[in-house]
Amino acid sequence: MQNKGLVKLFAILFGLVSIYQLSFTFKANQIENNAEAIAISKIPNTEADYREKRSNDEASYLESISKDTVFNMGVAKYTYDEVKQKAMNLGLDLKGGINVILQISVKDILKGLANNTKSPVFNKALDDASELQKNSQNTYLEDFFIAFDKIKGDTKLASPDIFYTKELDGEIVGNMSDDEVKSVITTKIDESITSAFEVLRKRIDEFGVTSPNIQRLGNSGRILVELPGVKDIERASTLLQSTAQLEFWDAYRGEQFLPFIQEANEVLKEIVDVDTENSEVESEGDENAQDSKIDDLLGETSVDSTANASNNPLVDLWRGMGYQGGPVVGRFEIKDKETVLKYLNMPQVRALLPAEQRYVKFVFGKPEENSEIVDLYALAGNRDNIPELSGAVVVDARNVFGPTGNPAVSMQMNSKGAKIWEEMTGKAFSQGSQIAIVLDNVVYSAPGVTTGPISGGSSEISGNFTLNEAIDLANVLRAGKLPARAEIIASEVVGPSLGQESIDSGTTSFMIALVLVLIWMIVYYGKAGGFADIAMVFNIVLIFGVLSGLGAVLTLPGIAGIVLTIGMSVDANVIIFERIREELAKGKGKKEAIQDGFSNALSSILDANITTGLTALILFIFGTGPIKGFATTLLIGIVTSLFTAIFITRLLVDWYVNKGGKLEFSTPVTKNLFRNINIEFLKKRKVAYIISSIFILVSLGSLITNSLDQGVDFVGGRTYQVRFAQDVSPTEISKVLSDAFGSADAKTFGTANQLKITTKYKIDETSSEVDEEIRNKLYTVLQPYLTGITYDDFISDAETKTVGLMQSFKVSPTIADDIKQASFWAIFGSLIVVFLYILLRFKKWQFSLGAVAAVFHDVLIVLGVFSLTYKFMPFSMEIDQAFIAAILTVIGYSLNDTVIVFDRVREYLNEHTTWNFQKIVDVSLSSTLSRTLNTSLTTLVVLLTIFIFGGESIRGFMFALIVGIVVGTYSSLFIASPIMYDTINKLEEKKKKN
């Protein structure tokens, strides 16, 4: 091997850099273990106190040393914050936390650009675009343009009542064509989404999450946010979704609307269907209570409130009044908010309002902590529904403590805002009214002005805040408001205890697989196998070093990717050693055989790894979250495996041989294994075609009749992983869940005391309030099976948690369709890319056809096995993104096997020009059989190890790979090469006839 000195230098430098990068991870773990030990030393007696106390003590200790120098590397010194920043990032499934995909509402942005126009054409196009989105792969903006073009008639986008507005003056003029306006609007939408991205990034930075990941997903208006280690999931969700739309409105006095409430109630009696239960008078006491409630509402009144007293749609929901002269119209239960607003905004009800109150806005306030009651306010709205002052004037915000000692938020406005604020406070002072401070359509406070106009632009928001709420509100106001609503359309929540279990199971499977492979290489190749083992261990160091250096995130599928890389990295060494054994069998000397073996193996190794790398690259492009982590480690592993197998193993082998060592590349047990094999594979191809046809027909039949168990990824919905203290019956729990949710399913997930629960209940509603409602409902239904578990324990994120909600996953139908579409293109794209690569390398389309036909064969059979067995297998076999990753890996592996054979066919075509083509193919298959079986068996051992020890969450993923490897090995021998042979043979026969 030439340039050995350069290779040694690169290997040393590469190794040192990897060890340097990994040293930060070891140091961070050491410090955190020390923090845990300190926290444990202060454990109180009760378990309940222990959880909270330990968590707080750990956080306090780490915070106290965040700026201290904790790692001294000679000249360089690092604080804990710097060490943590350079340490390897653990993904959501290993550390716990939240992973969400936010959809920025392009519809809201368009409305804002059009100045909330009342144009019927514009608003009809918006509604039509929303309908198109249900079955479209276009962005919302593209569908809006399509919808507008269909109905526009003579209306132009540059019309004064659409986009030719004061806000867009200079960018859009009246004589612009629609195509020119579309270009401007496309740019403005992109700018708004970029603005939203920056606002979210600033909020996350203020939130203080370690190693967050935030990225835009194409041009769809979607933003991926990963927050590993976050424990307060509700707080994080609120932080991400809050638009921070701050508004200041004049508020009416509440008692002004009491007569209106009674009049509205009378109108509603005629138009609202009252529940049968409410229409029956239970007792005289009920009538008296209702009578009393209306009397309390109106005081003395001439209205006969006992008439039809049991049918009071609005008054029945009444729970009290605000203080005299205050801004509260009435008090209602939180659960009735939507109903109350629906009643008050009915046209028949609003017609009762006097002219001066025609544009009143009814808005609910922020409820007090642990209260089920919320206040209703009446704000002085206007025709355009625009507040007199908005949060755009806020230039700074800080969390403070108010006069009563409660957390509040202090704001400072710019000069323009200060002037308007002075006018508003002066008016409120003179009228004795209040100014409502509204954030995201919730009244946080409505203070009166008692000291005259307030100058200088300072103001304060108070409103029953916790300290964290005040901090978060100040942060979002300081970061700025989102340009539009941000809805969570997909989310995954993993508890820290589940993450620790994943680390434990991943580490166990990793170590067992590594030991088995290391032993196997020595058993099969003797000392040469030992050198391959050294190269393999060095390969692992490089993989982790590169991951750490690139700031990549290590996930559980990522660990599976590394373990799979170990199995596949054996392949390069096996190809090399098998070629050396062939050269030795020809009678060549040891050094010459080694040189020729490495040289002859290089082409096969490169072709095999490039085809696998191409599928991994496509997986990286189309995948998200953990799947991208799997693809990342696989890509890095392929590169480092090539380097270690081709160069490091060669250095060790040459060093040992040059110093006079005896190297046989086999052991007494394996010396003559697979020697002088000459199987006539092509004569058996018709039998193989029949067997494969049967398998494919059975698979297709099952796919048509049984279909597949499509996961939430592909159909939308919510999934919850719940662990119980005792074994439970999934059939029994499915029944009670279906009664409660209408559509729900429970399956055993791993052990008999753990279920995966899936429901489509309120599938189209993605708000955090609905998420909380469903969690509450889930707990209520499961409470008989959760003896002694409170709701707080059920949803808690304690690191020692062993019972309750361990993980949740949510996908909206819209993004589910997109994931399904992306998965199809990922598989189809990988086949096209590989077809073209093989055509480029082997110059004949028949080689490409044989390889792709074998891949189709493998994919169909894997799908068929899943379709046939998912109903009775003791583990989850859902078709989700992880399954697509498995299919793409199977494609890569099958192609790997096939390309090795094709490479030998090409070699023999050049070397043995007198042989007929059938003999060349048979001999090629026979001569590579040792490598095919050796690599497949080694990889299967690795996969079985992960399948058994790697954790429940990736068991279905591993099963797909195991089936794929078995079928892929078969197809490379009995499908790919025979199809390639038959198509070339038929073409040659046709040429002879012509």
Look up residue 665 and give its two tokens. Answer: 């590349």
Cα(first)–Cα(last) distance of the chain, in Å? 50
DSSP line for 557-576: HHHHHHHHHHHHHHHHHHHH
Alpha carbon distance 177, 834 (integer Å)? 44
- Amino acid in position 309: A
Give pLDDT, residue 610. 84
Burial of 575 (0-12, 13-18, 19+ CB in 10 A): buried
Measured over the CA atoms of residue 917, residue 919, residue 923 and residue 926, the dihedral's sign is positive
- Nearest Cα neighbor of 125 from 67, 85, 187, 178 is 178
Helices 881-911 and 917-927: crossing angle in degrees, nearest 10, is: 120
Q: Are 860 and 887 a contacting pair, CB within 8 Å?
A: no
Q: Report the alpha-carbon angle 123-129-132, nearest 5.
A: 150
Look up residue 11 and give its two tokens. Answer: 């290997």
Alpha carbon distance 934, 208 (integer Å)? 49
pLDDT means over runs of 10, the chain (994 residues): 78 90 87 78 52 59 80 83 82 73 84 85 89 78 90 86 79 84 87 80 67 73 78 69 76 89 89 50 43 49 40 86 84 88 90 88 84 89 80 78 78 85 86 82 79 79 68 68 72 66 74 86 91 91 88 73 73 87 86 89 83 81 69 86 89 90 85 79 92 94 88 78 85 84 76 82 73 84 82 72 79 69 75 83 88 91 92 80 77 81 89 89 90 85 83 80 90 92 85 75
Look up residue 275 and give its two tokens. Answer: 């529940």
Q: How many CA atoms, within 13 angstroms, populate the side-chain half-sphere of residue 372? A: 6
Q: Burial letters for 796-807: b for 16+ Cβ neighbours within 10 Å, e otherwise? A: bbbbebebbbbb
Helix (H) or strand (E) holding 853: helix 845-869
- Amino acid in position 507: T
Relative to beta strand 553-554, strand 89-90 is parallel
Q: Burial letters for 330-345: b for 16+ Cβ neighbours within 10 Å, e otherwise? A: bbbbeebbeebeebbe
- Amino acid in position 378: A
- Amino acid in position 838: I
Q: Report the alpha-carbon angle 853-641-550, nearest 5.
A: 105
Give pLDDT, residue 864. 93
Alpha carbon distance 733, 739 (integer Å)? 10
Sheet holding 717-723, edge to edge: 213-217, 222-228, 97-104, 486-494, 804-811, 717-723, 751-759, 744-749
Instruction: List, in order, residues 6 or more apart from 59 with CB less than 8 Å away.
Output: none
Tell the residue number behind the tokens 């009246």, with chain if given: 174
pTM over 0.85: no
CA 606 from chain center: how many Å? 33
Instruction: List, in order, residues 6 or more apart from 976 with CB less than 8 Å away.
Output: 850, 851, 853, 854, 898, 901, 902
Give pLDDT, residue 746. 81
What torsion, rounded to 10 degrees, do the Cα atoms 73, 79, 81, 86 define?
-10
Helix (H) or strand (E) holding 355: none
Q: How many CA atoms, within 13 angstroms, populate the side-chain half-sphere of residue 175? A: 0
Look up residue 25 and give its two tokens. Answer: 């991870």
Alpha carbon distance 196, 191 (integer Å)? 9
| Percentage of the chain exceeding pLDDT 70 | 85
The partner residues of 554 in beta bridges, in order of sequence, read 90
CA 775 from chain center: how many Å? 20
Give pLDDT, residue 689. 94
Complete domains list, the chain, with CATH: 4-87 (no CATH), 101-209 (no CATH), 246-272+313-481 (3.30.1360.200), 495-706+817-993 (1.20.1640.10), 717-811 (3.30.70)
Alpha carbon distance 912, 930 (integer Å)? 21
What are the φ/ψ torsions at residue 140 (nearest 5 degrees)? -60, -40
- Nearest Cα neighbor of 475 from 248, 243, 209, 239 is 239
The partner residues of 348 in beta bridges, in order of sequence, read none
Look up residue 18 and give its two tokens. Answer: 């990897």
Q: Are 262 and 302 a contacting pair, CB within 8 Å?
A: no
Q: Are 979 and 854 a contacting pair, CB within 8 Å?
A: yes
Alpha carbon distance 177, 698 (integer Å)? 57
Look up residue 864 and give its two tokens. Answer: 């068929």
Q: How many CA atoms, within 13 angstroms, populate the side-chain half-sphere of residue 726? A: 8
Alpha carbon distance 704, 693 (integer Å)? 16
Q: How far is CA 743 from CA 430, 739, 775, in A?
A: 57, 8, 15
Q: Are 429 and 449 a contacting pair, CB within 8 Å?
A: yes
- Amino acid in position 291: D
Give pLDDT, residue 133. 79
DSSP line for 977-990: HHHHHHHHHHHHHH
The partner residues of 378 in beta bridges, in order of sequence, read 362
What are the φ/ψ torsions at residue 212 (nearest 5 degrees)? -70, 160
What are the φ/ψ torsions at residue 136 (nearest 5 degrees)? -135, 145
- Nearest Cα neighbor of 408 from 474, 458, 477, 364 is 474
Measured over the CA atoms of residue 80, residue 85, residue 86 and residue 90, the dihedral's sign is positive
Alpha carbon distance 897, 279 (integer Å)? 74
Measured over the CA atoms of residue 620, residue 19, residue 610 and residue 950, the dihedral's sign is negative
DSSP line for 417-432: HHHHHHHHHHHHHHHT
Look up residue 110 and give its two tokens. Answer: 């368009």
Helices 685-705 and 845-869: crossing angle in degrees, nearest 10, is: 50
Alpha carbon distance 567, 570 (integer Å)? 6
Q: How far is CA 411 from CA 397, 440, 479, 544, in A?
A: 4, 17, 13, 47
CA 421 from chain center: how many Å? 43
Q: How far is CA 165 from CA 113, 168, 687, 692, 933, in A?
A: 8, 5, 74, 66, 71
Q: How far is CA 778 from CA 167, 757, 804, in A?
A: 47, 10, 11
- Nearest Cα neighbor of 530 from 423, 667, 350 is 667
